[in-house]
Every structure is written in C-alpha cells, then in structure tokens.
Amino acid sequence: MNNFSNKVALITGAGNGIGRATAIAFAQQQAKVVVADISHDAGNKTVELIKEAGGIATFIPCDVTNDSQVQALIDGTLEAYGQLDIAFNNAGIEIEQSKLAEGDEATYDKIMDVNVKGVWRCMKYQIPAMLKSPSSAIVNTASIAGLGAAPKMSIYSASKHAVIGLTKSAAIEYGKKGLRVNAVCPAVIDTEMFSRAAESDPKKAEYVKGLHPVGRIGQAEEVAAAVLYLCSDLAGFTTGVALPVDGGVTAI
C-alpha cells in the first residue's frame, strides 16, 4: 500500500468495528485522521489508540442524521488540517429482523435516514471541500445486501442498494474533476454486533460462518485493507465500483 502522508482522511462510524479498524489503518499509513462518531467515548477511544501508536488523529462528534453536525464535521476537519482528501462514509445501522410486510414505518425511516440520507448528506458537504484536492477519494460502506436479496432485512437491503446508486452516480458526476467514488460491500464481519448475535444464538452464528465459501467470517481489518486500496493511487483508474469483501459469498 502506498503511503498516505500529506493526506487527511475522514471516517464516520469510526468508534468501533470496521470504522475503527480503517481509521487505525489510515493512521498507520501516515494519514492525518478525523474520527467521527455519534459516541464520544468510542470516538475518543479510537483517537487514543491511534495516538498511542504514534499517529495523528482528531475526534469530532457527529450524528449523520443531523445536517448541522455533518456540516460542522467538514468545517472542523478543514479547521484542524486545512484540507480533506479521503472520506470513508461508514456510519450505518442494522435493526431489522422481520419480513417486508411485517415492517413498520418508523423502522423504515430510521434505517433510511442513517444509511442513505446520512451518506448523501456526508457527500453533499464533503465533495466541495474534496474538489480542492488534486486527487481525492470517497468510499461508502454498502453491503452484500446491496448486491442482492437479504431475507428479513428488506429495508436494510434497500438502503444499501441506494448507497451503491449514490456511489455510482457521484463517480460519474465528479470523475473528470479528480474525485473517485467507490463502495465496499462486506459480508458478515467479526464485530461487536456479530459477537452479541453469536452469544445469543451460537448455532445460528456457526450457520452464518458456513455460508462463506472461505469457511469463516471476515475481519474488520480486511475491510479496512480494501478501503485503503480504493483510496490509494493503486486504484487510480477505479471509480464507481461496489467491491464485495465477502469471502466468496457473491460468487455462489
């Protein structure tokens, strides 16, 4: 991986899981990192881990459903570091466990507000700042649920299909201006969310692991590696891509 020195990377949902792993990975590659999360404790913990390893990071609290907070996030990034070169829009929720006709409007609105409108809102404020950089990159967190069906998660699946649509459209709109926009589509990743599910239903957790052709679920660091690649010069000719990071699930 090429070095990200002289680059400023902003990661939302960076308080744990994939977001934290990616923030740490960027810092290890010499980027200045802006950690954004709705949780002050989790966000500050990520910054602490980065600084303990000799990296540079700043925490800015942000709820991606709040327009003024997202705008303040971008303003704060520019005030802290003077530029924005990389954005990983990772904040999202997964709260659905029912068939489509059993869903309710409140759940629909909450999922869409975070997963879709949150990504749209972040890009809306990120892009004007990033166009000032000669070479910039955005990566959005979608899911393999955005590449196909997700039984009992139809609203979540729809939200991730929408993230891919936003990604592809932005990639076309801003490609000639030096901004690349891609998405990562993880399968099941070993995060706190999966750990809680495994504790409540160990048999189901083993079943889920078996759905991956490689015989295991993914690690947050493996998704982080894909994000860093998409943001690097090595991916300079790659834009508008929804990259599965899924242990072969979508190849079946």
pLDDT band at 2 (very low <50, low <70, confident <90, very high): low
At position 241, the amino acid (one-letter code) is V
Cα angle, residue 76 at apex, residues 71 and 78 outer, rounded to 5°: 100
Hey, CA dihedral for 122, 128, 133, 134, is it positive or negative? Answer: positive
Q: Is the pLDDT of residue 192 over 90?
A: no
Locate the domains of the chain by residue range: 8-188+219-244
156 in active site: yes
Helices 202-210 and 192-200 pack at an angle, to 10 degrees, of 120
Residue 83, phi then psi, degrees to nearest 5: -165, 165
CB contact at 8 A, 36 and 73? yes
Tell me the pLDDT band of 199, cut-offs 50, 70 and 90: confident
Instruction: Report the percentage of the chain scoring pLDDT > 70.
Output: 98
pLDDT tens-digit profile of 72-89?
A: 999 999 999 999 999 999
Among 125, 156, 174, 229, the active-site one is: 156
Mean pLDDT of 198-219: 85
**pLDDT per residue as tens digits for the range 220-240:** 999 999 999 999 999 999 999
Model confidence band, residue 196 (pLDDT cutoffs 50, 70, 90): confident
Mean pLDDT of 45-65: 98
- Per residue in 136-180, pLDDT (tens digit) is 999 999 999 999 999 989 999 999 999 999 999 999 999 999 999
Superfamily of domain 8-188+219-244: NAD(P)-binding Rossmann-like Domain (3.40.50.720)
Residue 1 has pLDDT above 60, yes or no: no
